[in-house]
């Protein structure tokens, strides 16, 4: 059994006669159970189901659903229409993070990828970035300084989506700047130290109400801004609803939660992805799909599924022990091919 969203939602629930079964609310949001056939060319809407069969509110993602959620590619398109995205990442000691994020955005399909890094690491990041355009920013002690803010705002002005946080490092000055940048109008992805900057300042997310905001924490980062005393699904969903953001809670069976209550879990991926840099690849892929115009929840789900599938394909050839985050980037085209064939 898999679940699929349809538009427009039905006027009434037809799953059963119990008014508070839990499935009814799910149906009214437009989600329906779908039975897949062997040839994957037919589907049959099952109107009557056993409520327990749903197994909670979370949908398990499938390749068939992700294929329909990918942004379309105009055959007459040019680099200016496939998304201009900006990565604000990196610091001394963390020069790989902006490279992984930028490469993933390129592999994800973005037309133009910009990367802003502290000036002290610019030469390293630029040398490893062939497709992305890397710009030096004012820094202090190897981390971005407040003096970088004006330049950052000018650089992101023409972009379609922004990523903040991969390898950014912690410091009062940089943390405060991250919180000030929450007023950017573009869809915003916060990862790693972009999330850590919210610790003790979760109220800063109020500045993002009405805007698209995606947080991509692992459990350690999530524990600094939320609570994991509940199940992973419940914790992510509650945080997303309360703060008006999309949450991608990474780990085995990554959870994707939306502020309107949509919830999904991802079946792809493996332990070979449990290495520094894998999260930077995911953040760059989420950024890329948002920049290409995918709906936020669909962009998050597609990025997570493709990221895990790339990991599975890499593990098949290089083993879980031997694969690297670089392999994730290199296998993203194969993951796309697997989904879109």
Write out the E strands in the chain: 2-5, 31-36, 43-45, 59-60, 84-88, 112-118, 133-137, 139-140, 143-144, 161-164, 188-190, 213-215, 246-249, 255-257, 263-265
Domains and CATH numbers, the chain: 2-55 (no CATH), 84-340 (3.40.1190.20)
Burial class (CB in 10 A: 0-12, 13-18, 19+), 80: exposed
Q: Which pair of tokens denotes residue 186?
A: 């573009």
Is the peptide bond between 8 and the residue preceding it cis, with omega within 30 degrees of 0? yes
Gap between the Cα atoms of 186 and 26, Å rounded: 30
Instruction: Taking the CA atoms of 166, 167, 170 and 175 in sequence, report the sign of the dihedral they define.
Output: negative
Give tens-digit pLDDT for 119-161. Answer: 999 999 999 999 999 999 999 999 999 999 999 999 999 999 9
Query: Is the Cβ–Cβ distance between 189 and 161 less than 8 Å?
Result: yes
Burial of 124: CB neighbours in 10 Å, binned 0-12, 13-18, 19+: middle
Question: Burial, 113: exposed, middle or buried (Cβ in 10 Å; 0-12, 13-18, 19+)?
Answer: buried
What is residue 52's predicted lDDT score, i.e. its pLDDT?
A: 28
Using the predicted structure, report yes or no on whether residue 325 has a pLDDT greater than 80: yes
Nearest C-alpha neighbor of 123 from the set 159, 169, 92:
92
pLDDT digits (tens, 9 = 90+) for 56-90: 468 899 999 999 999 999 999 999 999 999 999 99
Please choose, from the candidates 79, 139, 141, 143, the residue with its C-alpha nearest in 3D space to the C-alpha of residue 114. Answer: 79
Where do we find the tokens 């023409």? 158
- Summarised one tens digit per residue, pLDDT across range 150-195 is 999 999 999 999 999 999 999 999 999 999 999 999 999 999 999 9
Look up residue 262 and give its DSSP letter.
Answer: -
Q: Report how far residue 130's alpha carbon sits from residue 336's, in angstroms, rounded to the nearest whole number.
A: 21
* CB distance 191 to 178 below 8 Å: no
Cα separation of 132 and 230, whole Å? Answer: 40
Which pTM does this prediction carry? 0.85
Distance CA 52, CA 180 (A): 45
pLDDT given at position 58: 87
Report the distance separating Cα 213 and Cα 209, nearest Å.
9
Residue 143, both tokens: 């981390």
Q: 177-204 burial, b if ≥16 CB within 10 A, otherwise e?
A: bbbebbebebbbbbbbbbbbbbeeeeee
pLDDT tens figures, 49-63? 223 233 346 889 999
């Amino acid at each position: 059994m898999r679940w699929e969203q349809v538009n427009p939602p039905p006027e009434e629930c037809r799953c059963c006669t119990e008014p508070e079964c839990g499935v009814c609310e799910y149906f009214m949001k437009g989600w329906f159970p779908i039975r897949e056939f062997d040839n994957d060319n037919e589907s049959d809407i099952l109107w009557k189901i056993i409520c327990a069969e749903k197994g909670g509110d979370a949908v398990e993602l499938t390749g068939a659903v992700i294929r329909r959620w990918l942004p379309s590619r105009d055959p007459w398109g040019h680099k200016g229409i496939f998304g201009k995205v900006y990565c604000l990442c990196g610091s001394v000691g963390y020069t790989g993070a902006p490279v992984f994020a930028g490469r993933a955005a390129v592999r994800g399909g973005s037309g133009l990828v910009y990367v802003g890094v502290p000036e002290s690491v610019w030469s390293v990041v630029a040398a490893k970035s062939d497709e992305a355009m890397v710009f030096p920013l004012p820094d202090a002690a190897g981390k971005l300084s407040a003096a970088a803010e004006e330049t950052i705002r000018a650089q992101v002005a023409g972009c379609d989506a922004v990523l903040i946080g991969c390898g950014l490092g912690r410091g009062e000055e940089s943390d405060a700047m991250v919180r000030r940048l929450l007023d950017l109008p573009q869809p915003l992805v916060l990862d790693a130290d972009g999330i850590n900057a919210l610790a003790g300042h979760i109220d800063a997310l109020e500045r993002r109400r009405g805007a698209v905001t995606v947080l991509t924490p692992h459990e350690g980062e999530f524990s600094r801004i939320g609570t994991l005393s509940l199940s992973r699904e419940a914790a992510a969903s509650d945080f997303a609803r309360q703060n008006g953001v999309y949450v991608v809670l990474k780990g085995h069976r990554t959870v994707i939660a939306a502020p309107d209550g949509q919830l999904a879990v991802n079946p792809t991926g493996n332990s070979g992805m449990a290495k520094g840099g894998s999260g930077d690849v995911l953040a760059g892929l989420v950024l890329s799909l948002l920049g290409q115009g995918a709906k936020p929840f669909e962009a998050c789900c597609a990025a997570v599924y493709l990221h895990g599938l790339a990991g599975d394909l890499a593990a098949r050839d290089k083993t879980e022990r031997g694969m690297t985050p670089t392999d994730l980037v290199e296998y993203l085209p194969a993951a796309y091919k697997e989904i879109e064939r």
